[in-house]
Every structure is written in structure tokens, then in C-alpha cells.
Amino acid sequence: MFHSIGLIDYGMGNLHSVQQAFKRLNNPVKLIRSPSDLTNLDALILPGVGAFDPAMKNLNSTGLIPDLKSWVNDGKPLLGICLGLQLLFESSNEGQSEGLGLLKGHVEKLPAVDTERIPHMGWSLLKKHNQCPLFNNEPEPLWMYFVHSYSAIPKNKNELAATANYGIHQLTAIVWKDNFGACQFHPEKSSHSGQKILGNWLNWLKHQQ
């Protein structure tokens, strides 16, 4: 089944790679740049690459923030990617701007670890904590590609669906609440495992209509 999915374009997203990933899954996405584009959609994707404050500034300039909040509060599906995960939270140490506040919690700089570099860049294995629509009982390990210097700290641990190792620490990899959530890694750059995650989300959408 084809889903009408909107990919939010606010000047901070890795749009081309996300578009290509969904084309490979035979479900192209539509770019969303203003509230007038939010028609006849089944789901939204909030991507993001860069810093927290410029992202919130750019997102605010689109006029989409009230609509995004209403979309999620109405129980409609949304998937955040990378910085798109961090923007869902209340605030970040990376800047002064308020986040979307759709998830309770804060975003903090990665801890200093002798064995790791900042930014955290490369492949890490997911450790599942709570079931969410991005999982479908995959028997094989799921390795995902990360590029980030900040990590979200959810207040509600039930919303923490998966983590990834960072030295002795466990970093937030997937958060999920009700019909929306996000991944810190880049599924569109994570080869077969990433396609599996996105495919699971598309399959889940079938049951949300």
C-alpha cells in the first residue's frame, strides 16, 4: 500500500538521502515547506542535520511548528531522524531555543570518554529496551550509522525504545510515544538495517489509517 508521506524541508535536513531511501521502498515522499502543503498526508518525517538553535529558527520560519504540534497531539504518525529526534524534546545544551516539547526531557553534549570521539560517528549496534513500530522481531543484529555530538535524555524511560553503546555509556538511539517517535541514527544511511527499520514503519502505517 502506498502512503502519502510528507518530508519536512526547513533547510536543515538530509533530504536527498531520505528521499532515495523511500524510493527504494517504493514509497516516494512529498516535500513540505509550509502549512499549505499539509494536505492529504498519512504521516510526516522530520529530518535534521546541524545545530539545535538554527534548526528551531528555520523550522519556526516555515510557520509549521503549530501544525506539527497539532499533528502529533491529534495522534497522527511522525518520524524524526537525527537532529529531528532532538528537536522533539524541551531544550538542548547546544543552544538557547526551546524545542518542540513533544517529549519531556533535555538534550546534552556527549560525555567525555577516553575510548570514544566526539562527534560519535560510525556504526553502532542497537540495544532494544521497549517495543516500537520500528521493530518487527528482527532475528539479526541491527547496526546503524550515527553522526552526532549531542544526545537526548528522556524523562520517561518507557519512551526509550533503544540505545547504542558509547564507551561505558548507553546513548539514546530510538524514542517512541504513542504514534510518533524518532531515531538518532540515520536509517537512510544504514544500508540493509536502515531499510528494515523504515520498512517496518511503513508496514505499521498500514494499520493507522
Catalytic residue numbers read: 82, 186, 188
- The partner residues of 169 in beta bridges, in order of sequence, read 166
Minimal CA–CA distance to 134: which of 171, 102, 88, 182? 182
Nearest CA to 126 out of 196, 207, 46 is that of 196
Contact between 151 and 171 under an 8 Å Cβ cutoff? The reply is: yes
- The residues, any chain, with a CB within 8 Å of residue 162's CB and separated by 6 or more, are 126, 127, 128, 129, 132, 135, 173, 174
